[in-house]
Structure 1
Amino acid sequence: LYKKGDNWYVKTDKMEYGPYNKKQIVFGNSIVYDGKHCVFLYKKGDNRYVKTDKAEYGPYDGYIGNIKIAENGDCYYEVSSQQYCNGKKLENSGRKECNMDVNGHSFYFSYDYDYVVIDGQRFGKAFPFEYRYDKDKNAFVWYCLEGRDLTIYEYALD
């Protein structure tokens, strides 16, 4: 990946692609570039790998998709419906939906929507990749990636 003038180009050992003039380039679901950080996927034998400008993660035997780069350079992606951040599995992320009831309050989300529902009201702008009930704070807490921003929500119940 390189910049020439105001445009970006992707060069492999066999071909060159471009020009692209966007800050974030998504190339064939295997290269993502946001102007600062780059992530690309590759396959070696039967295994798949994620390589960033910081590190390499893998091997994985499932399809890798939904690649996002947070503003701090952290790389989020999915392997067979399980979400990862920089090579680490995210707790609770394999679930496509959740319906949690605590002390008469409900917390619900579905992978089909870009928000959570608490006591019938919508909150947030993205599907949570991690969530929990914090007993000490008596609050629902969830994490999501909204664009390039890692967003942490905390909703107090009383």
Structure 2
Amino acid sequence: MKICVIYDTKRKNGATVHIVKWIQEALTDAKAEVDLRSWDKVDDFDYDLFIVGSPIYWERPLKSVLNFLSENRAKLADKKVVIFIVCMANLFGHFTDEYIDKRYLKPLEENISDSVVEKAVFRGWLKKPNHNERRKVIKWARELIEMELRSNGQRR
């Protein structure tokens, strides 16, 4: 399975960078071929799955990621797309679920809603990587690959 993980970030060693590397690690361990790409370095759309992520700054996903999805909606129309965000709003528990969906995930889905097969919210941090979140990301990525293999009638 060939997977492209597309993202942007404002912090070159921040939570989003760690999370995409953890996703890559888990998917590679599951024998997937995984490419990490900044939103502005994507020139090939010959993948089985796209995973697109953005941190949340000033209560919104990064404009670069939103623009990428909008500008490439035709190329992504017949593809499977997974979206994820990295934020700290989920620190407040399930009370923020509706807010996160409406304010953070919906804008990412807007132009590609028919292609989205999965969504995820990961908790960011300010200083040191959160190793509990690492376990969550790896578990999620493994479940994602299993789901994709099942939907394609394959087994690992």
Q: Which has the higher strand share?
A: 1
User: What TM-score do the two structures reach when normalised by structure 2?
Assistant: 0.24
User: What TM-score do the two structures reach when normalised by structure 1?
Assistant: 0.24
Q: State which structure, 1 or 2, has the greater radius of gyration over its C-alpha atoms.
A: 1
* Structure with larger RCO (C-alpha < 8 A, sep 6+): 2
